[in-house]
Amino acid sequence: MALKRIIPCLLYDGVGLVKTVKFKNPSYIGDPINAIKIYNEKEVDELIVIDINASKQKRKPNFDKLADMASEAFMPFAYGGGVKTFQDFETLYKIGIEKVIVNSLIQENPDIIKQVVAQYGAQAVVACIDFKKPLLGIKAPYSYIGNKIKYTLVEYAKYLTQNIGVGELMLYSVDNDGTWEGYDTEITSQLLNTVDVPVIACGGCGNLEHLKTILYKTNANAAAIGSMAVYSKKGMGVLINFPNRELIIIEE
């Protein structure tokens, strides 16, 4: 069986790379260009960069910095953060970003996303669903400012794929982010059975078994890794790295 995609997910704060735990307490990791050079050498499948502060700070993507990253990256490159207009999408595609990840724009102006899909195709847009379990109730999607979204997770996934027309979903577990305790396999399985587009699982990966489980037992199309991609081990220092594919492939 061929190995599915494993994607380093790098968080950018507008200055450098950081890593969060449950979307809080970002720790400085280093310069994104240096990380991308290392990932080139390791021949990673794809790369995700998310500017975690752009929407909160109401600023546009740093197009100049992203152009530098895209020109350095030898792999498919996806970016999310601060994208608000059709022109933002156009600029990102022109500088070499293959996929744009949307999140807050889904609530703010979904018609723009529909226009982009019509112009560039569904494969060019990825919708990120941040989800967590509230104090009371079931796991649900949340906006970047912490507000619960009116849909259930299943309803939201259907809305994004059927109404908005995005070509891929990224399921980002807030509760598992940075914990090294594994992906949310329950939600991933549930939504894989709901939609007909590729699904990227994100949040919580801590070892090779987590990758095997999410990719081959849950059957996600791709697995994003954060802490494993920037730390040597849990509680240890920064080390830009990528897991050995041969140790993850499960033969039929």
Q: Where in the sequence numbering do the catalytic residues fall?
A: 130
Residue 133, token pair as written in the block: 């379990």
Q: Let me know: does 141 contact 107? Beta carbons within 8 Å.
A: no
Residue with tokens 């897991």: 243
Distance from C-alpha of 101 to C-alpha of 217, rounded to nearest angstrom: 26
Distance from C-alpha of 205 to C-alpha of 178, rounded to nearest angstrom: 8
User: Which amino acid is present at 213?
Assistant: T
CA 175 vs CA 26, 196, 234: distances in Å: 15, 26, 17
Q: How many CB atoms lie within 10 A of CB 39?
A: 23
Residue with tokens 């968080």: 11
User: What does the angle CA 239 – CA 34 – CA 10 come to, to the nearest 5 degrees?
Assistant: 65
- Give 131-152 as a DSSP string: EE--SSSS-EEB-TTSPBPSS-
